């Protein structure tokens, strides 16, 4: 009996004594890597860089900030039966945005979360011992992404807090909104640096290049009104002969054809499987319908105004706008929606379409039109017209209503880049937004050309100011 | 007396009869023993006895369980009739407290003790459900009515905003976080103790903040073997359905919604589809011949059924002075009210305790439970029940091909696919077209050894293990007979969870009485660790529906995870009393836990309490009416550790991208680290008074408490410019204060007995401090906004106030309004009075926490009959009905609440003035969160009626039984509430719990809040509470 007691006590106390060690309480996460020892090796930075690029999926999501601003706030698109909280979505289209709009806050979060993933790489690269060339290129890529995001943010909100390194919660209370001019200066600085660090060829297909940095830099200069520098940067890209227009406009939108000679910066997707980061533009732009195996979200549905903007005989119209779909019985339902990212051969997986299309953020046609905008020379514009098999600007058959270079560009950019999230940014850059959108029945004023600062942001830090008119 | 045996020869025969409170109440089985000897007898069925006694000086001791023993000297009598009265033993009852027991007399904290008798005939699978409405300060609400759904238990309010708030469950001394009490068969439970105040709970230290529920299972008593058998048959039914529009009402509303939108664009109501945009077209059938649909389908009729249940139990218990045991088995087979759903439980238990020597005792409690269930409808908006309500009533249950839906290309109903706003999620497409089930297995074992080292000093060591496994499988038939919202290919998945928790406890107890002093000391050391693992595999591409296991398809996804926590604790307690009148207790626990930051893993949790049994003072004898008076005061600190297992660590999450045309993994920081993360602590002060009057016929217990939670474990919203929205930080303060009153009264004690138990309690919750600048914390799901701000209770509903409907243009012109407003639109209150309707007009429009909760039980007995009924009430809380999104406003053509049919149609037909006109395009604030979505959650519920009949003990004796009873029990008999949904107790989100494998209340989480608890009181599609009627028979041999 004594032995039994002894035995049991020993067992019990032994089990107990495991706990005496402090290490018993130090448990490393079993299923998530710990951030503690990350950002050391090249392999770490490869993973971190991939995560930084991953933010493009959010920012350029068909229901992301750039899409809402670029199309829904302009005159190309509307939404009908869109899924989710419809009222908040209609506010963009109708210019009735309120600071409590849940999407405005979501977009704010999207941008700053994305910026964190870029800033942390830049910050950690500073002290890392890595191959110098690798380091330089990665810095360039990150600076390009940061430039791209602030380029969008400054147009969407105007003044925004400028965060260019990881900051703590405590520090963040003292980071207030910087004037738009400072944000723009940062965009130019980042892109100028990126240009210097990047090579003509990407480190991996899909990564930012010198050409991408310069094209965006040119666009950024145009945003600031500096046509001289814009022309200089854009012309350099043009002269590099690295890019060219594809012969056929339609071939740009083949889901299998990616990263063409016309593409300057393109977001990479991979369709075919539910576990891939597949392209969601197909699903999101598809109309909401009961007759299919998946739910289209009905985002950015084409309005008559864009339908009518295309000149007679402009084949880009039918490459850009789908006119309907066929149900299970073969019955055709008419509807107009963006066609460029439709992947008709993509598999249907769990009520979703695992499409393969990439999304071009910058392409050569855009650059050509920007060059005309910067230089006033119509030859670049006419290269685009030529591919579309349409009368060149200056020819007698050219539509008379676009009788200035500015109007010709406005029209050409609208149809060439339809639904590519450019329209509203173009109208803002050229100062035409209020004038044009008013005639389309939008309830727009100068104040409404920027989004409100979300009220939650101002609840958290009451030193953050609101945009005028909200 | 020592001389008595010597007088053995001169015996006298005596006989007599023993009765209880009345002459008619013969008591069989009363032991009649000659004092000082072991000789004696027991009374027979009519209470009489016969006995030879040594002589006139003999003293007979009459004793019977539950009665006061009395002694009678024989004297010259040969006929001795005695009346014995029930014992007022309430003060001497033993109450289980943390790491020990106490007499009720010595309790100085706030502890509720409920023994088996209080819930014996109730039909719930989870014992805490039987306690709803009966415990002051304990709000037990049934958030979902599915079989096996755990209730939400809130003890003295909610003490945390984002940390978990489930009370700690302690089963036979084993503390188990987020334990599902369905795993313990209620019939195996001897008693439940609820530790409410901090001084009682502080011995559980870091896990006591939300209160502690102690569950003690039965053990046999020395003496005869007792066999108890019980068979129960039940029937469940949803008696309170949601009133939805029928097909005619729906079609009219649908058409008006389209026409109102069309007219707002300049059209006319009579315009044909050809001139309307696609989204404003109306099915020709609706225009030309709506009558063809009649009243249509009541989808609730299709979904719900009257469901039977059977519960059979057998237990054997008994033992000797040295060894006691209890073995039991029970099988519950419950069909659910929801189509195809069921819940089956087999529970087996073996409790054994044996004294090997005078000093050494060993014991083993072993509980094995397996649950096979299929439970749906509890997951909110996208689950069967919610979807069923949303489905259009004009569609039939079966189409002409025997299929379910209008998407059947061979059905004439296919014509409706041309309209994107036709909705049908046929319930059977999710129940009959799905093969699904869950199997859960739980083993809870505790082995212990107690050894008396020296006199009064005992050492106890125990090892416990809790092993829990679940497996789920799911297979969805190809095309689902066209009944789902789209026609899907077959798909399947399977998953498994594993949880193993072990605990080693070692305690020394010192128990000493010297003179008027009594001292109990406790020292202990415990170690506990848990590991959770999950596994999930999914497949599709099945060739046909013949084989439902995943091998038949192509595996498309798979995943496993693992997670651990560990805890080390030291504890000490001293209980001292003087003369059994003055009590003092002091305790402290030191806990170290893996979840916290490197620098702050350890925390101290002290408590003190004192009690004064005033009624035992001599001066109280002057007031004979007062039979018991006790004053209690306590103060203690408890903690909360319910945060994610790696809450202090910054983790990396996956963020892939396509690099060079191939899928590449990426890693990003998914949360900020906080190496200083520490315990959330609650200080609570409790003052209690117990009063017993008229020989304890009336017992009153009153308590007040004030508790302050500080260093709250809060996912503090931080400026998003950091790249993160929140950081788990110790910040903020919250207060809960409240009063509780319990009155138990034996109104009648004669042949007819009548007792009343009444309780009422009030808790007021107030946030005292939040993060930097006291910035409010706001979460949104769909549009329902909950906002926590300083000076207010947690999670106020926050939105616009709708003051009915603008009946005409003149009314609109006379009041600030949204620019889109036309007659029939809502009148939104200009809260800030600035003459316009903006975001700034949003305000507090409700809170789910009730002002007070109450319950009253009346029990009437006569002979063997007993009738008991329980009313439960909750007053002053609100519920946010997120289903208004789908059912209370136009939402892509879903069906509507019938009440909405009273909407504004024209100036001359303005409806009920509350419901604005429907429209496909609401241009104003109709779909924003407002008072239109918030309803009064107050209710009164006839929670339980119980009738039982025990056959007279004389008959039982003849049948060789101790007791035999039949009973009828009805739960959720009637609900008095105006709520539009099923039940004002419904909340889709339940409580916050970070348990990765155990299912407790509220497993539904919102993508928009880090914690479901913030959305407590938001109904986003819930399972109704059925009325359950059971008939049972129970026999004890």
Chain A: closest CA distance from residue B706 (Å): 30
Alpha-carbon distance B309 to B499, whole Å? Answer: 30
Nearest to A1 among B357, B529, B652 (CB): B357
* Tokens, residue A141: 């890529």
pLDDT of residue B5: 44
Ordered domains of chain B (ranges, CATH): 4-83 (2.60.40.10), 90-228 (2.170.130.10)
Confidence check: pLDDT of B1 > 50: no
Please provide the distance, in angstroms rounded to a whole number, between the alpha carbons at the two ends of chain B: 37
Assembly ipTM: 0.93
pTM over 0.90: no
Alpha helix positions (H), B368-476: 384-390, 427-431
Closest C-alpha among B111, B112, B130, B128 to residue B120: B130
Alpha-carbon distance B127 to B184, whole Å? Answer: 8
Confidence check: pLDDT of B2 > 50: no
pLDDT (tens digit per residue) in A327-346: 777 888 888 999 999 998 99
**Considering only alpha carbons, which residue of chain A is nearest residue B487?**
A293
Contact A47 B667 (CB under 8 A): yes
**In whole numbers, what is the pLDDT of chain B averaged over residues?**
89
Mean pLDDT calculated for residue range B422-438? 94
pLDDT (tens digit per residue) in B280-328: 999 999 999 999 999 999 999 999 999 999 999 999 998 888 899 999 9
Confidence check: pLDDT of B892 > 60: yes
Cβ of residue A169 closer than 8 Å to a chain B Cβ: yes
Best residue of A6, A39, A78, A81 to probe chain B, by most B CBs closer than 10 Å: A81
Least confident of A405-414, B432-441, B551-560, B735-744: B551-560
CB–CB contacts below 8 A, A to B: 304
Dihedral pair phi/psi, residue B116, rounded to 5°:
-50, -40
Alpha-carbon distance B583 to B631, whole Å? Answer: 10
Mean pLDDT calculated for residue range A288-315? 89
Confidence check: pLDDT of B603 > 80: yes
Chain B: closest CA distance from residue A130 (Å): 19
pLDDT of residue B1002: 44
pLDDT of residue A82: 66
Contact A1 B646 (CB under 8 A): no
pLDDT of residue B7: 43
Contact A19 B557 (CB under 8 A): no
Nearest to A173 among B598, B719, B926 (CB): B719
Mean pLDDT calculated for residue range B413-421? 90
Are B830 and B839 in contact by the 8 Å Cβ rule? The answer is no
Nearest to B418 among A287, A333, A351 (CB): A333
pLDDT (tens digit per residue) in B209-253: 889 999 999 998 877 788 999 999 999 999 999 999 999 999 999
Please provide the distance, in angstroms rounded to a whole number, between the alpha carbons at the two ends of chain A: 83
Task: Report the CATH architecture of A40-198+423-447.
Answer: Alpha Horseshoe (1.25)
pLDDT of residue B959: 78
Mean pLDDT calculated for residue range B855-882? 94
Confidence check: pLDDT of A182 > 60: yes
pLDDT of residue B331: 96
Q: In 3-state terms, what secondary structure has residue B365?
A: strand
Contact A50 B655 (CB under 8 A): yes
Mean pLDDT calculated for residue range B718-745? 92
Confidence check: pLDDT of B616 > 90: no
Confidence check: pLDDT of B957 > 80: no
pLDDT of residue B584: 94
Q: What share of chain B is helix, strand, coil (3-state, %, to 5)?
A: 15, 45, 40
* Tokens, residue A432: 């035409």
Cβ of residue A456 closer than 8 Å to a chain B Cβ: yes
DSSP character string of B749-774: ESSEEEEEEEEEEEEEEEEEE-SGGG
Confidence check: pLDDT of B89 > 60: no
Alpha-carbon distance B733 to B716, whole Å? Answer: 12
pLDDT of residue B408: 92
pLDDT of residue B3: 41
Confidence check: pLDDT of A1 > 60: no
**Considering only alpha carbons, which residue of chain B is nearest residue A256?**
B661
pLDDT of residue B622: 86
Nearest to A80 among B279, B407, B540 (CB): B279
Alpha-carbon distance B212 to B207, whole Å? Answer: 8
Q: In 3-state terms, what secondary structure has residue B356?
A: coil
pLDDT of residue A192: 97
Chain A: closest CA distance from residue B326 (Å): 24
Mean pLDDT calculated for residue range B155-165? 85
Using a CB-CB distance cutoff of 8 angstroms, which residues of chain B are in contact with residue A13? 461, 506
What is the pLDDT confidence band of residue A312, given thresholds at 50, 70 and 90?
very high
pLDDT (tens digit per residue) in A355-388: 999 999 999 999 999 999 999 999 999 999 999 9
Nearest to B722 among A53, A172, A274 (CB): A172
Rg (CA), chain A: 26
pLDDT (tens digit per residue) in B826-866: 999 999 999 999 989 999 999 999 999 999 999 999 988 99
Least confident of A63-77, B64-78, B307-321, B517-531: B64-78
Least confident of A9-13, B130-134, B208-212: A9-13
Contact A87 B783 (CB under 8 A): yes
CA distances (Å), origin B983, targets A378, B651, B972: 70, 40, 11
**Among B19-33, B717-731, B794-808, the range of highest mean pLDDT:** B794-808
Closest C-alpha among B442, B560, B429, B540 to residue B484: B429
pLDDT (tens digit per residue) in B784-821: 999 999 999 999 999 999 999 999 999 999 999 998 89
Nearest to A33 among B563, B652, B719 (CB): B652
Contact B720 A109 (CB under 8 A): yes
Q: β-strand B138-141 against B652-654: which pairing, if any?
A: unpaired
Using a CB-CB distance cutoff of 8 angstroms, which residues of chain A are in contact with residue B672? 169
As a residue count, chain A comes to 470
Chain A: closest CA distance from residue B968 (Å): 48
Domain-wise residue ranges, chain A: 40-198+423-447, 269-357
Using a CB-CB distance cutoff of 8 angstroms, which residues of chain B are in contact with residue A163? 721-723
Closest C-alpha among B557, B555, B556, B563 to residue B534: B563
Contact B449 A12 (CB under 8 A): yes
Mean pLDDT calculated for residue range A61-66? 95
pLDDT of residue B1010: 59
pLDDT (tens digit per residue) in A108-127: 999 999 999 999 999 999 98
What is the pLDDT confidence band of residue B4, given thresholds at 50, 70 and 90?
very low
Mean pLDDT calculated for residue range B672-679? 85
Pairwise pLDDT comparison (A443 vs A416), residue with the higher score: A416
Contact B721 A167 (CB under 8 A): yes
Nearest to B722 among A18, A55, A168 (CB): A168
DSSP character string of A233-299: HHHHHHHTT-----S-GGGGG-TT--S-TTEEEEE----SSTTS--B-HHHHHSPP-SSSSS----T
Using a CB-CB distance cutoff of 8 angstroms, which residues of chain A are in contact with residue B776? 459
Mean pLDDT calculated for residue range A27-49? 86
Contact A275 B563 (CB under 8 A): no
Enumerate the β-bridge partners of residue B897: B244
Nearest to B718 among A38, A47, A169 (CB): A169
């Amino acid at each position: 009996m004594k032995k039994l007691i002894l035995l049991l006590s020993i067992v019990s106390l032994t089990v107990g004594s495991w706990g005496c060690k402090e290490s018993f309480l130090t448990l490393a996460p079993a299923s998530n890597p710990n951030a503690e020892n990350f950002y050391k090796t090249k392999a770490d930075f490869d993973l971190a860089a991939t995560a930084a690029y991953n933010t493009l999926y959010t920012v350029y999501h068909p229901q992301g900030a750039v899409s809402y601003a670029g199309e829904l706030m302009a005159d190309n698109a509307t939404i009908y039966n869109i899924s989710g909280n419809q009222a908040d979505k209609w506010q963009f289209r109708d210019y009735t945005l309120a600071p409590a709009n849940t999407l405005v806050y979501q977009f704010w979060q999207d941008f700053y979360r994305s910026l964190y993933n870029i800033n942390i790489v830049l910050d950690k690269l500073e002290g890392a011992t890595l191959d110098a060339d690798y380091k330089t290129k990665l810095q360039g890529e990150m600076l390009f992404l940061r430039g791209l995001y602030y380029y969008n943010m400054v147009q969407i909100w105007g003044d925004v807090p400028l965060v260019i390194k990881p900051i703590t919660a405590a520090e963040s209370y003292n980071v207030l909104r910087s004037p738009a001019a400072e944000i723009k200066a940062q965009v130019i600085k980042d892109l100028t640096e990126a240009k210097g660090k990047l090579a003509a060829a990407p480190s991996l297909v899909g990564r930012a290049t010198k050409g991408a940095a310069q094209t965006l830099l040119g666009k950024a200069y145009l945003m600031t009104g500096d046509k001289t520098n814009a022309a200089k940067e854009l012309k350099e890209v043009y002269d590099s002969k690295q890019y060219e227009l594809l012969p056929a406009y339609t071939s740009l939108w083949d889901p299998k054809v990616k990263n063409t000679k016309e593409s300057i910066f393109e977001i990479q997707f991979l369709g075919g499987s539910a576990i891939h980061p597949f392209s969601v533009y197909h699903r999101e732009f598809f109309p909401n319908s009961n007759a299919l195996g998946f739910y289209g979200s009905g985002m950015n549905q084409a309005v008559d105004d864009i339908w009518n903007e295309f000149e007679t005989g402009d084949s880009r119209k039918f490459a850009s706008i789908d006119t309907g779909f066929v149900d299970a019985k073969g019955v055709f339902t008419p509807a107009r929606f963006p066609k460029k990212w439709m992947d008709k051969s993509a598999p249907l997986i769990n009520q979703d379409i695992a499409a393969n299309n990439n999304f071009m953020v910058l392409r050569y046609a855009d650059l050509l039109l920007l060059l005309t905008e910067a230089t006033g020379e119509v030859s670049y514009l006419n290269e685009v017209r030529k591919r579309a098999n349409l009368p060149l600007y200056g020819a007698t058959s050219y539509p008379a209503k676009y009788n200035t270079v500015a109007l010709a560009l406005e029209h050409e950019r609208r149809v060439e880049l339809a639904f590519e999230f450019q329209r509203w940014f173009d109208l803002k850059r050229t100062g035409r937004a209020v004038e044009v959108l008013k005639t389309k029945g939008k309830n727009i004023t100068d104040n409404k050309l920027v989004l409100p600062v979300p009220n939650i942001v101002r609840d958290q830090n009451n030193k953050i100011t609101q945009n005028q008119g909200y | 007396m020592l001389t008595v045996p010597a007088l053995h020869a001169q015996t006298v025969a005596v006989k007599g009869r023993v009765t209880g409170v009345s002459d008619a109440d013969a008591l069989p089985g009363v032991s009649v023993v000659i004092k000082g000897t072991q000789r004696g007898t027991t009374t027979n069925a009519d209470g009489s006895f016969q006995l030879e006694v040594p002589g006139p000086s003999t003293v007979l001791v009459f004793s019977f369980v539950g009665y006061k023993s009395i002694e009678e000297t024989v004297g010259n009598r040969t006929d001795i009739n005695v009346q014995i009265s029930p014992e007022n033993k309430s003060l001497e009852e033993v109450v289980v407290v943390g790491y020990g027991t106490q007499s009720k007399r010595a309790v100085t904290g706030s502890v509720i003790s409920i023994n088996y008798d209080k819930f014996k005939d109730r039909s719930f699978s989870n014992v805490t459900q039987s306690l709803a409405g009966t415990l002051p300060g304990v709000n037990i609400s049934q958030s979902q009515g599915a079989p096996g759904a755990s209730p939400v238990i809130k003890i003295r309010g909610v003490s945390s905003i984002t940390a978990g708030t489930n009370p700690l469950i302690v089963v036979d001394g084993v503390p188990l976080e987020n334990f599902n009490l369905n795993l313990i068969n209620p019939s195996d439970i001897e008693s439940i103790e609820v530790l409410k105040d901090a001084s009682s709970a502080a011995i559980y230290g870091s896990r006591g903040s939300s209160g502690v529920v102690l569950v003690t299972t039965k053990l046999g008593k020395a003496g005869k073997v007792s066999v108890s058998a019980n068979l129960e048959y039940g029937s469940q039914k949803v008696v309170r359905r949601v009133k939805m529009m029928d097909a005619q009402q729906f079609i009219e509303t649908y058409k008006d919604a389209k026409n109102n939108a069309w007219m707002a664009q300049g059209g006319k109501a009579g315009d044909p589809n050809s001139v309307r945009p696609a989204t404003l077209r109306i099915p020709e059938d609706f225009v030309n011949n709506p009558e063809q649909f009649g009243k249509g389908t009541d989808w609730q009729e299709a979904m719900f059924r009257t469901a039977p249940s059977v519960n059979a139990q057998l237990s054997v218990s008994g033992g000797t002075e040295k060894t006691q045991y209890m073995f039991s088995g029970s099988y519950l087979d419950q069909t659910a009210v929801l189509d195809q759903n069921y819940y089956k439980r087999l529970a087996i238990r073996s409790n054994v305790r044996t004294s090997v020597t005078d000093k050494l005792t060993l014991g083993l409690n072993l509980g094995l439970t397996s649950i096979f269930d299929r439970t749906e409808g509890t997951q909110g908006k996208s689950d069967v029940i919610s979807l069923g309500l949303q489905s259009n009533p004009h569609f039939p249950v079966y189409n002409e091909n025997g299929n379910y839906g209008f998407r059947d290309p061979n059905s004439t109903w296919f014509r409706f696919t041309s309209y994107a706003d036709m909705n049908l999620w046929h319930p059977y497409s999710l129940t009959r077209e799905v093969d699904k089930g869950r199997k859960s297995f739980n083993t809870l074992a505790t082995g212990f050894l107690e050894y008396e080292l020296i006199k009064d000093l005992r050492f106890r060591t125990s090892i416990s293990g809790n092993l829990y496994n679940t497996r789920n499988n799911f297979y969805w038939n190809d095309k689902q007979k066209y009944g789902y919202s789209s026609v899907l290919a077959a798909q399947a998945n399977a998953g498994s969870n594993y949880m193993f928790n072990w605990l080693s406890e070692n305690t020394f107890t010192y128990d000493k009485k010297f003179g008027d002093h009594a001292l109990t000391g406790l020292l202990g050391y415990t170690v506990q660790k848990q590991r959770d693992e999950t596994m999930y595999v999914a497949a599709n591409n099945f060739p046909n529906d013949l084989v439902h296991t995943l091998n038949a398809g192509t595996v498309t996804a798979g995943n496993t995870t693992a997670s651990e926590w560990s805890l080390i604790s030291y504890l000490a307690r001293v209980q001292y009393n003087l003369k059994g009148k003055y009590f003092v207790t002091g305790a402290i626990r030191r806990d170290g836990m893996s979840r916290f930051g490197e620098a702050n893993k350890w925390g101290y949790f002290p408590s003190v309490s004192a009690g004064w049994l005033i009624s035992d003072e001599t001066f109280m004898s002057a007031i004979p009416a007062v039979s018991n008076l006790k004053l209690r005061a306590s103060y203690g600190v408890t903690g909360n550790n319910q945060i994610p297992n790696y809450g202090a660590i910054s983790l990396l999450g996956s963020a892939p991208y396509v690099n060079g045309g191939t899928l590449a993994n990426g890693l990003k920081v998914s949360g900020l680290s906080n190496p200083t993360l520490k315990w959330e602590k609650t200080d609570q002060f409790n003052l209690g008074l117990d009063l017993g009057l008229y020989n304890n016929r009336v017992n009153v217990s009153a308590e007040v408490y004030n508790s302050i939670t500080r260093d709250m474990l809060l996912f503090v919203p931080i400026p998003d410019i950091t790249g993160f929205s929140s950081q788990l930080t110790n910040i903020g303060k919250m207060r809960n204060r409240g009063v509780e009153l319990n009155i138990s009264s034996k109104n009648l004690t004669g042949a007819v007995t009548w007792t009343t138990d009444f309780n009422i309690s009030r808790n007021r919750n107030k946030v005292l401090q939040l993060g930097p600048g006291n910035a409010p914390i706001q979460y949104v799901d769909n549009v329902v906004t909950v906002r926590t701000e300083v000076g207010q209770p947690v999670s106020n509903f926050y939105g616009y106030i709708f003051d009915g409907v603008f009946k005409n243009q003149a009314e609109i012109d006379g009041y600030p309004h949204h620019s889109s407003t036309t007659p029939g639109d809502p009148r939104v209150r200009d809260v800030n009075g600035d003459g316009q309707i903006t975001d700034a007009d949003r305000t507090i429009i409700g809170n789910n926490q009730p002002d007070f909760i109450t319950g009253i039980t009346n029990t009437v007995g006569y002979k063997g009959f007993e009738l008991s009924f329980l009313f439960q009430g909750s007053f002053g809380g609100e519920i946010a009905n997120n289903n208004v999104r789908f059912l209370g406003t136009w939402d892509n053509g879903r069906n509507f609440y019938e009440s909405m049919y009273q909407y504004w149609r024209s100036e001359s037909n303005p409806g009920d003035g509350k419901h604005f006109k429907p429209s496909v395009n609401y241009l104003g604030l109709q779909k924003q969160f407002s008072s239109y979505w918030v309803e009064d959650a107050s209710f009164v519920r006839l929670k339980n009626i119980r009738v039982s009949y025990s056959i007279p003990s004389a008959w039982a004796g003849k049948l060789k039984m101790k007791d035999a009873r039949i009973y009828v029990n009805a739960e959720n008999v009637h609900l008095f509430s105006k709520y539009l949904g099923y039940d004002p107790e419904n909340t889709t989100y339940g409580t916050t719990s970070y348990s990765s494998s155990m299912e407790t209340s509220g497993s539904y989480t919102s993508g928009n809040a880090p914690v479901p608890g913030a959305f407590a009181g938001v109904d986003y599609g819930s399972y109704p509470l059925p009325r359950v009627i059971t008939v049972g028979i129970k026999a004890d041999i």
